[in-house]
Amino acid sequence: MGDGKKLSSLDASFLYLETPEMPMHVGSMAIFRLPDDYQGDFFEAFKAMIASRLHLAPILKARLEKAPLDIDHPSWVEDDQFDIDRHIFRASLPEPRDRATLERIVGWMHAKLLNRARPLWEFYVFEGMKDNEVGLYSKMHHACIDGGAGAALTNMIYDMTPVPRQVDPPAARAKAEQEPRDIAANLLDAYTQLWNQPLDPAIAKGIELPRSGKSDLGSILFDNAMYQIESAVRFAGSIPAMLRSVTDVVGKISDPAARESIASMASPPTILNKSISSERSFAGASISLSRAKALAKLAGGKLNDVVLALASGVVRRYLLQHGALPKKSMTAAVPISLREEGNTETNNQVFGMICAIATNIEDPRERLTAIIAQSTKSKEMAHPLRAFMPQVSNISMLGAPILVQILALLYSRSSLSDVLPPTANITVSNVPGPRQTLYAAGAELLHIFPVSISTHGIALNITVQSYRDQLDFGFIAGANIIPHVQVLCDMLPEEFELLEQAFAPERQSAAG
């Protein structure tokens, strides 16, 4: 990454929105089991294995380089002082050295900001757990990775057999000598970026005017003019596609049924939708993937609908216990991956929708049926906007880093999320993972619980990753809102059983 790859607007936004109370990194709590006859030092073996494979994921050796005066998005550049001992640590776990203790420590550690002077990731290895288990807490800034890229990174680092595979060393390459550039040249680059928004790659293909290839001021001005001409052609060519998307949205909104659907997606205020502190509460739980898929098939929905129903069930039960369940259905912010199959780029390729999760319905069967209908409507409403996202994610605006960071800090300090209507009540994300068993340095991977992001106004995040024949749920919340999120995890198995019973074939036969 020595060429200085500039962050997209979407990737950079996770940097600008970050505050001490709202870190913007994602991670996981993985649980491994060592063989009974394991000999050696797992921490050192794991660190050596990662060190030998860093070239498979160049983002792991890339640090941020700010634009002059912070007028434009930063770039990823190779860290010439990279030291793996600043990224992989041997951590200690106090008695009783069980998963519950590990979860509490992970919640505490996930609230700590990453050091932006170094590549934005850290691994912590917890040895000496019960049943020959080893815990691995990892975190990486959301500016360089999303859930889909994280799953791809997992496949790059881990092995499918207990014996680590041999990885070819990186090819030798000459270090590029970069010509020093002054502030004026960088300012012009930022100005060029503003006018050179790649709105439609299909339109842009084949449009390339000549460049001087020089770095003097006159040549830079000439190149900038060429960029602006190309940008105008690209923009004009993309207008029909943009108008079609807008027309689709307007057409859906003009439909009375669609307007009713939009109204149903308005989020009621709840005790979960407040400003969060700089502390986190984390816990994990697992259910059977094959059983969840079978339930989705019986209900006529998708796996994601079952995940939403389970989230709805536990949140509904929790708020009932606190006498705080709203009469109106709560909503979930649901990320949608735009990543094409086989795409392993470590960047953010994600969109999102708001879906009502039927917390106002007591019967589990009726609740899941309502969620299936609501998620279908939400996908239909969101679909026309998907085409905008790759374009919007690359838009630059001069001064955006400073402006957005100031606004994020003001929002955080003003506690506006305590009084503004919530955009959604909770976040629920479902990330597909590997079905085969994975290993690291000879240890078998048992679970990989996601550890995601809590935000002001949406304190609870429930992220799920599939692995083998299980769904690993990671619950994280602002500790001032839900001090012990483990209580929600404890509700998950029973909620799953209630849903299965509600759609059991014998019950359907009896009802028929």
For the segment 213-265, what is each residue's pLDDT rounded down to a tens digit? 555 555 555 554 454 444 444 444 444 544 454 445 445 444 555 545 555 56
Q: How confident is the model at residue 411 (pLDDT cuts 50, 70, 90)?
A: low
Closest CA to 266 of 460, 379, 425: 425
φ, ψ of residue 16 in degrees (nearest 5): -70, -30
Rounded Cα–Cα distance for residues 119 and 139 (Å): 11
- In tens, the pLDDT along 84-122 reads 999 999 999 999 999 999 999 999 999 999 999 999 999
Note if 456 is an active site residue. Answer: no
Residue 44: CB atoms within 10 Å: 13
Rounded Cα–Cα distance for residues 136 and 134 (Å): 7
Q: Which of 142, 322, 383, 456 is catalytic?
A: 142
Q: How confident is the model at residue 460 (pLDDT cuts 50, 70, 90)?
A: very high
Q: How confident is the model at residue 81 (pLDDT cuts 50, 70, 90)?
A: very high
Q: Using DSSP bridges, classify how beta strands 331-337 and 426-431 pair: parallel, antiparallel or unpaired.
A: parallel
- In tens, the pLDDT along 367-397 reads 999 999 998 887 776 555 555 444 444 444 4
| Cβ atoms of 122 and 87 closer than 8 Å | yes
- In tens, the pLDDT along 34-67 reads 999 999 999 999 999 999 998 888 888 999 998 8
Closest CA to 338 of 382, 397, 378, 396: 382
Q: If you average pLDDT over every residue of the chain, what do you get?
A: 80
Q: Is the pTM of this model over 0.85?
A: no
| Residue 270, Cβ density class (10 Å: 0-12 exposed, 13-18 middle, ≥19 buried) | buried
Structure-token match 């990194």, residue found: 25
Work out the percent of the chain whose per-residue pLDDT is above 70: 69
Which three-class secondary structure state does DSSP give residue 16? helix
Rounded Cα–Cα distance for residues 32 and 37 (Å): 15
Q: Per residue in 461-473, is it b (16+ CB within 10 Å) or e — as a string?
A: bbbbbbbbebbbb
Helix H or strand E segment including 470:
strand 470-478
Rounded Cα–Cα distance for residues 143 and 134 (Å): 28
Residue type at 245 in one-letter notation: S
Torsion of CA 94, 97, 99, 100, to 10 degrees: -50
| Chain centre distance of CA 170 | 29
**The pLDDT of residue 234:** 46
> 134-138, 433-437, 475-479 — which is least confidently predicted?
433-437
